[in-house]
Structure 1
Amino acid sequence: MSTSPTLDDLRNQLVDDIVAKRPLPAPIERAMRTVHRDAHLPGLDPTDAYSNRAVTIKDNPQGPLALSCASVPSTVAMMLAQLDPRPGDRILEIGAGTGYNAALLSELVGAQGEVTTVDIDPGVALHAREALNRTGYEHVRVMERDGLTGAPEHAPYDRMIATVGPWDIPATWWQQLADGGRLVLPLRWRGQTRSVALTRHGDTLVSDDMELCGFVPIIGQDGELTTELANGTVRIHHDQDQPVDLDRLSDVFATPATEHWSQTRVGSQESFDGIWLRATATDDHICRIEVTNQALEAGVRRPVIPGRSPALVAGDSLAYLIAERDNADEERPVRLGAAAYGPAAAALATTLNANIAAWGAHRTAVPIMTSHPAGTPDSRLSGGHAIDKADSRLVLHIN
């Protein structure tokens, strides 16, 4: 006679599955086996609460992305490992969500530590407060406010973590992070999002880890823009410093794409997102292309991932990553290349294929990001490729 799994069974099975794919530091594993995610998602079937997926807790009536959601548990675990909370730490979390992450942080910092979590939405903040009270974490501080301002009255913080996606690192966060402290945030640049772990060294923040992720954008930053092409069926997502000109690109899909293939191949299950990341350390034309089903049906060449693929845009031309399975290599049966449109198609395709080849030669190499305050003169920047934002100057360097 079979019996239904208990909540403890479901929670432990979820953690077992996460650890099997990616070992966790022992304190984080213990915290995830201790905190009840289902209690932060009342009304949800326990099986769904302990599935490794995001759960929307508040829809956004003005757009397709949720206003707030409970993050994928494996992503939560990955970011906590990046943050490396210690007993006694003072922690600020931007984006309260369900309160689940704050409860995990409270377990990790212990009775001598302090956790403050903030959210701009009153309903989300109330949800987090009630869930934390209900589960025995009344001591966690929940504040309703704009996360971009942080919580200076309780600073300085040993650790700061954002669970919403900023486009820039606000100067207010710099000011509230202790020297030697760590900041983990899902930062957006050049159309992609990476969970970046940075340590403060005086007037710089220096990364030691980057992981692919996706998060709801933070409210109040508008440095990422969208340019719609082909009657809105193709979208280019780019930063405000990238001169994507709608008028010059209006006829870019008037002729068929030309295909240019690299010598780089990948396995069927091999990630190639590192191509995009590496290209941001050298090329200011890299951004994201989104090709809808309507565009594909109209004959636009399919990108490697229609919803989010790296692209190069310059003037009246563009090129983006494509893939084709040809089985010429049994171990790596998929070859990578570029589809290109416009007068400069061949040149952009050549550049993109050079980026693909550079990644292919060193597939595990990850750039180091150094963030400097806005206004830092070029002479004081660390060596590498600079990207200017409103509050910071990011410099990416790859060995």
Structure 2
Amino acid sequence: MTKETSAVNNTPTVDELRNQLVDQILAQRPLPAGIERALRTVHREVHLPGLDPTDAYSNKAVTIKDNPDGPLALSCASVPSVVATMLAQLDVRPGHHVLEIGAGTGYNAALLSELVGPKGQVTTIDIDSDVALHARTALNRPGYEHVRMMEHDGLLGAPEHGPYDRIIATVGIWDVPPAWWGQLADHGRLVMPFRWRGQTRSVALTRTGNSLASDGMELCGFVPIVGQDGERTTGLADNTVRLHHDQDQPIDANDLDEVFSSPPVDVWTDVRVGRQESFDGIWLRATAFEDDICRLEVTKKALERGVRRPVIPVRSPALVLGDSLAYLIAERDGADAERPVRLGAAGCGSSGPALARRFAAHITAWGADRLAVPHLTVFPSETADRDLPEGHVMNKQDSRVVLSYE
């Protein structure tokens, strides 16, 4: 379509759509010039063949392969603004050697290729042969044949082409695989959607010897990597309520059989939020102090049966201990026009009121410093207690994670 035809029909060209999307992303947050240039250069529609260009350049995820065994897709094209944020976290420089775990559509690898330049190298891997073929085909079409595409288990990385200056995972990671330690250069950076206590954050980590230390994290959501099994789901109330938790959290459905049989006890705080204000930091803060925090999912059927509505039914933080739990709730009371929503906790079970008060304390602490982000450090699983820094320790299968507010 020519520019003249576009103007007559008032139909934006693909270039105009792409630049509009980049402008939208930049309005949310500034980006380094190299990333902006890459976003304006790489054609996302090439990686999403058959999709209307307007949808290809919308700021949303697109499923490219469904999962016949579950609700989550096997592979997605990530939300472009999240892609941009993670690239900014990765801090790729010209000449870098980059490993991408999870090829997806190949779009992110094309962006990485623009960032590393002609003297750099991008290796992207995917365990799924269909996804790998899709990415290879899409990369070849506009001239990114030099990007190395491998059908490979992401948990094993690609040691034959390491070490890498940068590693980025575009799938949810519950634990840092041992193989990655040997493939990331010292002082190299790893960016991954890290999953713990029912939530996911894109965490940027720098390796120094046998530690990975964070210098930033962003809320995100990604399809989990194939092969890790550290998360559990426990169904309650005829499976109309579900708890999503880590394997080290001793949650027993039998203990919680009667947890919703009595009305909950509400504990309200003085913390208030605006309609568009994120309060996910409460969940994040609680993970730095609690071993009992996880994700609560309450279905429509449970709400119809009278279960107290959590702040977000499909994903709200909850404290769970023995036969009791407490979770985040909200109400609009009109007391403050700018921040009309008050936050609190609902406690259920014999220890529900005490758990609700514990939860309310985290809400209050977050309310006093809403932008604070904990420092996260990852160590190999064999690291002794004496070699860990001060903070709250979470033990995973292959690593030990320390969270602290400095």
Q: TM-score range by the shorter chain?
A: over 0.9
Distance in 1, Cα, partners of 2:92 & 2:300: 43
Which residue of the other structure, out of 378, 402, 405, is the alignment partner of 1:395? 402
Q: CA deviation at 1:2?
A: 3.7
Which residue of the other structure, out of 322, 334, 342, is the alignment partner of 1:315? 322
Give the % identical residues: 72
Distance in 2, Cα, partners of 1:253 & 1:333: 28
Counterparts of 1:346-385 in structure 2, within 5 Å, are: 346-385=353-392
Which residue of the other structure, out of 139, 142, 145, is the alignment partner of 2:152? 145
Q: CA deviation at 1:331?
A: 2.3
Greater shift after overlay, 246-255 or 228-237?
Answer: 246-255
Which residue of the other structure, out of 313, 330, 341, is the alignment partner of 1:306? 313
Matching residue of 1:28: 35
Residue identity opposite 2:69 in structure 1:
Q
Residue identity opposite 1:81 in structure 2:
A
Residue identity opposite 1:166 in structure 2:
I
Matching residue of 2:331: 324
Matching residue of 2:264: 257
Specify the SS of the correspondent of 1:147.
coil
Matching residue of 1:42: 49
Distance in 2, Cα, partners of 1:121 & 1:363: 40
Which residue of the other structure, out of 123, 126, 129, is the alignment partner of 2:133? 126
Matching residue of 1:295: 302
Instruction: Give 4+ residue runs of structure 1 displaced > 3 Å after superposition.
Output: none
Residue identity opposite 1:161 in structure 2:
I
Specify the SS of the correspondent of 1:247.
coil
8 Å CA contact 2:347, 2:354 repeated in 1: no
Q: CA deviation at 1:86?
A: 0.3
Residue identity opposite 1:50 in structure 2:
Y
Specify the SS of the correspondent of 2:92.
coil
Which residue of the other structure, out of 65, 69, 74, is the alignment partner of 1:67? 74
- Tell me whether 1:284 sits opposite 2:291 in the alignment: yes
Distance in 2, Cα, partners of 1:113 & 1:84: 14
Matching residue of 2:211: 204
Residue identity opposite 1:178 in structure 2:
A
Q: CA deviation at 1:263?
A: 1.6
Specify the SS of the correspondent of 1:357.
helix
8 Å CA contact 2:242, 2:297 repeated in 1: yes
Normalization by structure 1: what TM-score? 0.99
Matching residue of 1:195: 202
Specify the SS of the correspondent of 2:393.
strand
Matching residue of 2:25: 18
Q: CA RMSD in A?
A: 0.7
Q: CA deviation at 1:388?
A: 0.4
Matching residue of 2:5: none
Distance in 1, Cα, partners of 2:128 & 2:142: 21
- Tell me whether 1:224 sits opposite 2:261 in the alignment: no
Q: CA deviation at 1:315?
A: 0.2
Matching residue of 1:339: 346
Distance in 1, Cα, partners of 2:216 & 2:72: 26
Distance in 1, Cα, partners of 2:371 & 2:16: 36
**Stretches of structure 2 lacking an aligned partner (at least 5 in a row):** 1-7
Greater shift after overlay, 261-270 or 342-351?
Answer: 261-270
Residue identity opposite 1:187 in structure 2:
F
Which residue of the other structure, out of 89, 109, 116, is the alignment partner of 1:109? 116
8 Å CA contact 2:378, 2:402 repeated in 1: yes
Distance in 1, Cα, partners of 2:360 & 2:390: 25
Specify the SS of the correspondent of 2:254.
helix
Distance in 1, Cα, partners of 2:368 & 2:23: 34
Q: Deviations over 1:37-86 (max 9, x none)?
A: 00000110010000000000000000000000100000000000000100
Greater shift after overlay, 258-267 or 72-81?
Answer: 258-267
How many residues in Structure 1 have an aligned counterpart in Structure 2?
A: 399
Specify the SS of the correspondent of 2:366.
helix
Specify the SS of the correspondent of 1:69.
strand
Matching residue of 1:91: 98
Normalization by structure 2: what TM-score? 0.97
8 Å CA contact 2:98, 2:167 repeated in 1: yes
Q: CA deviation at 1:330?
A: 2.2
Specify the SS of the correspondent of 2:181.
helix
Distance in 1, Cα, partners of 2:217 & 2:312: 21
